[in-house]
Amino acid sequence: MRIYKTFQTERLFLRPTDTSDAEFVYRLFNSPVWLANIGDRKVYSIKEAEDYIQNKMIAQLERLGYANYTLILKNTDQKIGVCGLYDRPTLEGVDLGYALLEEFFGQGYATEAAERILNAGFNVFGLEVVQAITLPSNISSQRVLEKIGMRFHKLFFMEGDPEELMLYRLERNAYLSLDTNNTNI
């Protein structure tokens, strides 16, 4: 059995999402904030969450070595969100994404996790470019992306999605030149 990378930050453990997270994923995917900002993934039961994890998240992890990571508070072992690098068929390139349960908003967890996964994308997985997408109305997400060094690239429509989206990008060389702790693994 292949062992996959796990990560940590000052306050978080980030481990690959697995089927033991199905109840949490079901709750997160059906939260009002997820549905408004990310969209309906049509996961309406814990069994459907297990299938989604197996067929989307674990399948990508096995194929590429990275995927979705469950965010767990170090001090309580509570699952609070997800963050990952996604190979989306309707988007050229790797997409950095994250989501938290609403009760954990405004505490810096999204920035902390996104910064760690971005670092892993460049320094562990050898990516040359990382992108992220967000709705123009999601100001909080835009702030997170800008805090971690990503820059707005363009407005666009993703195939099959009627809403206009904002595309952010960061190239490896630009990331390495940022004045941050980006070399810590």
pLDDT at position 64 over 90: yes
Three-state DSSP at 53 gives: helix
CB 145 within 8 A of CB 114: yes
Tens-place pLDDT, residues 167-178: 999 999 999 887
Mean pLDDT of the chain: 94
Q: Which helix (H) or strand (E) holds 29?
A: helix 22-29
Q: Which pLDDT score is estimated for 181?
A: 52
Which residues, 6+ apart, have CB-to-CB distance to 119 below 8 Å?
A: 182, 184, 185
CA dihedral 145, 100, 11, 148 (to 10 degrees): 0
Torsion angles phi and psi, residue 65, rounded to 5: 90, -5
Q: For each of the domains in the chain, give its residue range(s) and CATH number, in order of start.
A: 7-177 (3.40.630.30)
CA angle, corner 44, sides to 39 and 47, nearest 5?
125
pTM: 0.93
